[in-house]
Amino acid sequence: MPTNITPSITIFLIFLGLFPFDSFPGLEAATGKLASVPGIYVFGDSLVDAGNNNYLAISISKANYPHNGVDFPGSIATGRFCNGKNAADAIAEKFDLPLPPPYLSLKGTFEEKARKAAVLTGVNFASGGAGIFNGSDQQLRQSIPLSYQVNNWLAIHKNLTSQLEPSEAQIHLSKSLFFVVIGSNDIFDYFGSFKLRQKTNPQQYTQSMADKLKEQLKRLHDTGARRFLVIGVAQIGCTPGERAKNSKHECDEEANMWGSLYNEALVKMLQQLKEELGSSMTYSYFDNFKSLHDIVTNPARYGFSDVKSACCGRGELNAQLPCLLVSNLCSDRTKYLFWDLYGHPTEAAARTIVDLMLSDDSQYSSPLTLTQLVSS
């Protein structure tokens, strides 16, 4: 997770899955009672990238090769850093929406029909390796930073408002879901930059992350976005790659502390933004840090048997090699929390986390659960 040019920095927000709704309290409320959502627009890093990086000519932060996609329909390596579908896909399916296609797949004259449909049901702007800050990507173009993702949204917004009457567009945008999953890469950029560490301390840096994210959320709000689902950074010291660095396979608590610092700043920023924007904004913050802690502490409760190793990799904890065609592949992906050494979740993990977002159990979500958000 140390640099901006590999999937390592795009780790984790861990998404969990395939666990019966009646296995723990509150999840039964997530079935059959969801309000209608006309579209879902996704912003973030490799946790929700659907293949945008496939279209970046020089990026090496890609997942368009096996064993990635082994459980995706047709066993296609779509560019998702996962064995199958990711959390953005799982949310779209919960609301009976098509999987949001990667924005860059919709460019060009031959894609006009697909673009016209996706504009209304949802588009995925996320990019593996992306951060809140532009970072080294401004020069290297290894990924699409958040500000550029919002720029791409402006192009889609223009298409949307040309298809709908002004009042229809306003209603559509106000009821759609804007899903934001980003932050881990910025933290690892700071870790890996002596220059950054000289210029600012951890508290100042994580606060600046939250401030910069606020700018981008306001840009989205200015275009009519009203419902935001924002995911906090998970325990970024507990990926297989981090555990494999020590003989006891323990988490890196310093890295976790940094994630916690950012989440504190993020929560306060969202509260302040809500105060500024009033009733024109509603949001759900999902505490991925706590969800990861709880799952790792009691994996059986969530249907997992391995929460330390990567499903796809080689060596100790399957964390000595990325997920490649020559890597070992676990036989039962539903039992693994992590897909690869970088901490990307398996499809099973993604689905369970989405279930937690929708649950009536509010210990992970504030001030609203996802179910409450879409009903607001």
Is 344 designated active site? yes
DSSP track, 199-255: H--HHHHHHHHHHHHHHHHHHHHHTT--EEEEE----TT-SHHHHTTSTT----HHH
**Rounded to 10 degrees, what is the CA torsion of 206, 207, 210, 215?**
-130
> Among 227, 245, 231, which Cα is nearest to 291's?
231
Kindly name the residue from 327, 340, 355, 359 that is annotated as catalytic. 340
How would you classify the pairing of strands 177-181 and 306-310?
A: unpaired
Kindly name the residue from 157, 172, 221, 344 that is annotated as catalytic. 344
Q: How far apart are CA 369 and CA 137, in angstroms?
A: 34
Is 222 designated active site? no
166 alpha carbon, distance to own chain's centre: 31
Secondary element (H or E) of residue 27: none
Kindly name the residue from 46, 61, 184, 327 that is annotated as catalytic. 46
Is 172 designated active site? no
- Rg of the Cα trace of the chain? 19
Tokens representing 234 are 């998970």
| Burial class, 278, CB count within 10 angstroms (exposed 0-12 / middle 13-18 / buried 19+) | exposed
Cβ-count burial 329-342 (b if 16+ within 10 Å, e if not) = ebeebbbbbbbbbb
User: Catalytic positions, please?
Assistant: 46, 340, 344
